Amino acid sequence: MKKILFLCMGNICRSPAAHCVFQKLVDDAGLGDQFEIESAGTTGFHVSQPPDRRMQSTLRSRGIPVMGRSRKLISSDLDTYDLILAMDNDNLYDARLLSTDPEKKAKVKLFCEFCRQHSETEVPDPYYGGPHGFEKVMDLIEDGCQGLLEALRETKSA
């Protein structure tokens, strides 16, 4: 089983959206038993809260079920998960600070490395923006999640 953790700052917009999108892709592909998918935030500002209502609305408008509650990233996550995908460089940096082990640090990567249709290197935080920001984030997340699933399938078949 491959364990994937999506990571942003508060775990109420970007990372739970990636969790929901990737879970749907995996389930639609009949691969639900091959993955454990979760999300977390580098801060504990929103612990136990559901995804932001604007992100929930954006997810639902695209036919993606909403799931999860915010939690804070902990150092043992670097042991538990095979891959931790940070939405931006700040969260990548903060996650890598949790360990001095180079192997564990290497598990933390930027989410946009898996985007195929977009050239952005980070997923912007839509929290303080309008609805268009949530749509842009979802475009990036759907692209990156599709690329991630393709990459993991290629790795498995190689």
CA distances from 86 to 14, 30, 111, 155 (A): 10, 26, 5, 20
Check if 77 is active-site.
no
Determine which one of 52, 88, 125, 143 is catalytic.
125
Of the candidates 14, 96, 143, 145, the residue annotated as catalytic is 14
> What are the contacts of 111-115 at 24+ separation with CB within 8 A?
111/6, 111/18, 111/85, 111/86, 111/87, 111/141, 111/144, 112/140, 112/144, 114/85, 114/144, 114/145, 114/147, 114/148, 114/151, 115/140, 115/143, 115/144, 115/147
Choosing from 8, 13, 20, 112, the catalytic residue is 8
| 79 tagged catalytic | no
**Which residue from 25, 27, 18 is spatially nearest to 59, judged by alpha carbons?**
18
Hey, what are 32's tokens?
Answer: 């639900």
User: Is-catalytic flag, 94?
Assistant: no
Which residue numbers are catalytic? 8, 14, 125
